Chains A and B, each alone.
Chain A
């Protein structure tokens, strides 16, 4: 079993962003069902936390108010799951209810420490 970071990226700075605040509200239940379903398979390693949408971006000579948004999307949430390989982790990620409103989910495998 490997560990995978599941990071949800979405537009959290533009007013007409999708998912919109209303869509996010509507997604609470499906989102919890998604997480509950992952946890029910004993595949949730680290549950998500609620992250402040602002944050700070640190550069060589400045600290600016975040979030990081060189591209339109910023990190909206993240957690860690257990899966055999990328195929399985991607299958899990496809369950994210925010995908239908333009969010994307980044899947990154943790490299196991060298024994």
Chain B
């Protein structure tokens, strides 16, 4: 690989690993020191490799340089040495010289520990996701800003504040205990779920970035599955859900980065090996006695991988939404439930259900009503779609809705004769 591509790629995969290891060795208090050391390591690499050529094993080279820089730092910084080295010596079996452990196992353990540190309820979900992208996925501030569709300054401040908060809470970064895992795993899974959704449902038209977010969420979930303590039925269900959704990624976005609705997707573009993986993990998730929202959402996503409409498909989807809503209300779930209701119980019955929802500031509420009234009362359907346009803020959605309005206008014209 050419040097120009090599360093950014290594930065992407190795920065987070070394930072996690250093951070879990020093404690979260010293996160900036850890980041500085690793950034400095990459700077040295850029300089050295352009002069001396790329070393035989670039990753090993980076680890060695990072270890040396850490040692130098400890020697140089008296205060740090007093506070930290004693602590490290105290916990390390080797009292004279300690070694930063960059073994595969410690890298995974440290990343897990970091995940549990970041996904702390004391900071907002947005901050958790931003920190995860930054520290666990090696995303730069610009990339995170692009993903959230905000400017760099906002993300910069958000990351600073979140780090300060985690420091002030004096949260020990440590390999999570069984007890912690039980209480915090749900938060971690929720953050990963939102990270995935950020990529999957983002209105950003940067398709590559969106895919990256989804892949990172999958990678981190897989990391959880490597540890028997975090490989729970709900973790498996979450991964299954991610695979099912990912399988439609290429079919649901057109060349312009616009969303294509499910009904109009070309299922030849669905990724069937990913669907297989989804099924595998859905089966894995079917143990224990807790039925989580991830289980239900994964099962709903599973039925969506069957393109062909059938009563069985929509009856199952309806019942799953019925259960999901009893666990946790969400407007989008209420709307989707009503859509499934229409598929099995008919549009007229669904209109009664839909109008009870009263989600009067939600564009999807009006598009649902538009869909339900189509062929029952076309004038009313058109009216609903027009209302939906008023509330819609995504170009891709408006395009589809305008098409429906046109079709309805034609139908209404024909009905006159």
B43 part of interface (Cβ distance < 8 Å): no
29 A/B residue pairs, CB under 8 Å, sorted by A: A29-B315, A32-B323, A33-B322, A33-B345, A35-B322, A36-B321, A36-B322, A36-B325, A36-B326, A36-B337, A37-B353, A39-B322, A39-B325, A39-B326, A39-B334, A40-B325, A40-B329, A40-B333, A40-B334, A40-B337, A40-B338, A40-B356, A41-B356, A41-B358, A42-B334, A44-B325, A44-B326, A44-B329, A47-B326
Chain A contacts of B345 at CB under 8 A? 33
Taking the closest CB of chain B, its distance from the CB of A71, in whole angstroms, is 30
Interface flags for B279-298 (1: CB within 8 Å of A; 0: not) read 00000000000000000000
Taking the closest CB of chain A, its distance from the CB of B49, in whole angstroms, is 58
B327 part of interface (Cβ distance < 8 Å): yes
The answer for the CA separation of A33 and B343 in the assembled complex, in Å, is 13
The answer for the CA separation of A75 and B320 in the assembled complex, in Å, is 26
From B319, B334, B357, give the contact of A32 (CB < 8 A).
B319
Taking the closest CB of chain A, its distance from the CB of B86, in whole angstroms, is 53
Binding site for A on B (CB under 8 A): 315, 318-319, 321-323, 325-327, 329, 333-334, 337-338, 341, 345, 353, 356-358
Q: Is there contact, CB below 8 Å, between A39 and B329?
A: yes
Majority secondary structure of chain A interface residues (helix, strand, loop or mixed): helix
Taking the closest CB of chain A, its distance from the CB of B9, in whole angstroms, is 46
Which residue on chain A has the smallest CB distance to residue B315? A29
Binding site for B on A (CB under 8 A): 29, 32-33, 35-37, 39-42, 44, 47
From B318, B333, B334, B357, give the contact of A33 (CB < 8 A).
B318
Chain A contacts of B326 at CB under 8 A? 35-36, 39, 44, 47
14 additional A-B pairs beyond A35-B326, A36-B321, A40-B329, beta carbons within 8 Å, are A32-B323, A33-B341, A36-B318, A36-B319, A36-B322, A36-B326, A39-B322, A39-B329, A40-B353, A40-B356, A41-B357, A44-B326, A44-B329, A47-B326
Taking the closest CB of chain A, its distance from the CB of B336, in whole angstroms, is 9
- Could you say which of A42, A44, A47 has the most chain B C-beta atoms within 10 Å of its C-beta? A42
Which residue on chain B has the smallest CB distance to residue A79? B326
Q: Is there contact, CB below 8 Å, between A41 and B334?
A: yes
Which residue on chain A has the smallest CB distance to residue B326? A47
Which residue on chain B has the smallest CB distance to residue A32? B322
Taking the closest CB of chain B, its distance from the CB of A111, in whole angstroms, is 24
Given A36-B337, A37-B353, A37-B356, A42 and B329 touching (CB < 8 A)? yes
- Could you say which of B315, B325, B341 has the most chain A C-beta atoms within 10 Å of its C-beta? B325
Chain B contacts of A36 at CB under 8 A? 318-319, 321-323, 325-326, 337
7 smallest A-B Cβ distances: which pairs? A36-B322, A39-B325, A40-B334, A47-B326, A32-B322, A42-B329, A39-B326
